[in-house]
Amino acid sequence: MQPDNKHYKSAVRKWGDLGNGFYRNPVLNSDYSDPDVIRVGGDFYMVCSEFHYMGMPVLHSKDLVNWTIIGRVYDSLKHDPKYDNMEGYAKGSWAPAIRYHNGRFYVYFCTPDEGLFMSTATDPAGPWSPLHEVVRVAGWEDPCPFWDDDGNAYLGHSTVGAGPIIIHKMSPDGTKLLDDGVIVYVGKIAEGTKIYKRNGYYYLIIPEGGVKTGWQTVLRSKSIYGPYERKVVLQTGNTNINGPHQGALVELENGESWFMHFQDTGILGRVCHLQPVTWVDNWPLMGCDGEPVTVYRKPRAGKEYERTFPQTSDEFDGPELGLQWQWNHNPVNERWSLSKRPGYLTLEAMYAESLLKARNTLTQKLIGEKGTATTELNTENLKNGQRAGLAFLGGTQENWIGIVREGESSYIKAVTAGIRYHGPEIETPNVWFRAEIDLNGITQFYFSTDNENFIQLGGPCRLEAGFWKGARIALFSYNTVMDGGRADFNWFRYEFE
């Protein structure tokens, strides 16, 4: 999968790589929440929370600033019916950890109701092994494995409700826990632990204080079970970066250390910031005087690398969907195809009473400060009761524009913030839908019958985040009367700044 460079449209570099040896935070201006990053040789790999969206992307970078998606750990969650029944909102994968040990990559994550899961691969681009259930348990979150240099293995995690931090002995192969665990720390909304060892100290890198307003804490001890000393190493201070915490400590081959963390922005989700780290008396001090930086020199990764972004647009002309796409809950694979009509994504409609209940809604993260998303839909195979088009998912608010089939007629309709708008009857086989998004999360829908003249439908609407995720763009097709009908999407193009 090639990096997406051509769809970034701003002449002024507003975030990420500034092209002059410096970067501006956020380095990844998109909803990659609870990031965990590792370095293997000269490469960096990242995974993030995905909750009810399927599945979990693996990102790659050469310099911690420029990122692309290279793989996916899983495509569905099969351990509970809620992920098939559209009842898993805000559940699913929470705060994964990625590690490299003895030639294999490991990813661990918890789901809040079902347990602790892991997968392994020899190549981070995949294939990844089927998810292995390490422990069937409710109420765990934010796991992290750790293999010590004496051959012992451990796993740390917190509990839903944010704490305490618990350390378990783990089998060397990482497939099971060997005890009930030891509580090593209790703090104010203490979660998201990551375990490291350096200069004889064990470090627990943990966020405290909550998603929107928290801070970054470091615990250290000469024993993995403590007692631990505590230091706050990063907090908002005099900046406008709220809650700079929860992420990964990474050491470069040249000895530089960096910290990748999130900032909760609401509509765009939890975007990724990169902080320099200075070691003082064996404490990792982050940012500048303990506050997050806005502009800073890039990590010295050996050379300058091309500016890249996670992929966005898709012509649907290949054998597989682009790695940027994620299904809302588990997909019904027999009801979508890239081969039934070559060059098109076909979504066969299933009955649903609303967009939030609709199966096979295909989504991707918003990115950047503003953007324009456009798609072409062929309507020749729609059936009575079917709805298909372009939508935004976030909280419970419906925002979409599309075709509604009523009997033998097709009409353009839109819903924004619960207000319904009725457009004209469409008799042409193809229709184009467009959404414009600005930096305040305000969107406006348009339609066209020739892909040249776009007509506004409905008023502007502020997007909504929800279920621990930012708003995202989506292609949908469902039927409010029965199973039946097919929507054929020719392409999807998303330009952003």
Q: Are 73 and 93 in contact (CB under 8 A)?
A: no
Catalytic residue among 17, 34, 376, 488: 34
* Residue 456 CA: distances (Å) to CA of 203, 369, 378, 388, 472: 54, 22, 20, 18, 20
Our answer to whether residue 34 is catalytic in this structure is yes
b or e along 332-349 (b: 16 or more beta carbons within 10 Å of the residue's beta carbon)? Answer: eeebbbbeebeebbbbbb
Catalytic residue among 36, 63, 141, 191: 191
What is the C-alpha to C-alpha distance for residues 439 and 443, in angstroms, rounded to an integer?
Answer: 10
What is the C-alpha to C-alpha distance for residues 263 and 32, in angstroms, rounded to an integer?
Answer: 10
**Which two structure tokens, joined as six digits, stand for 28?**
């990844």
**Which two structure tokens, joined as six digits, stand for 44?**
């960096």
Q: Are 477 and 464 in contact (CB under 8 A)?
A: no
Pairing of strands 53-54, 43-47: unpaired
* Angle formed at CA 311 by CA 249 and CA 82, multiple of 5 degrees: 80
**Which two structure tokens, joined as six digits, stand for 143?**
């796991």
Pairing of strands 215-221, 201-208: antiparallel
Q: Which amino acid is at 142?
A: D
Our answer to whether residue 281 is catalytic in this structure is no
What is the C-alpha to C-alpha distance for residues 339 and 336, in angstroms, rounded to an integer?
Answer: 9
Within 8 A by CB and 6+ apart from 123, the residues are: 71, 105
Residue with tokens 């009725």: 422
Please list the active-site residues: 34, 191
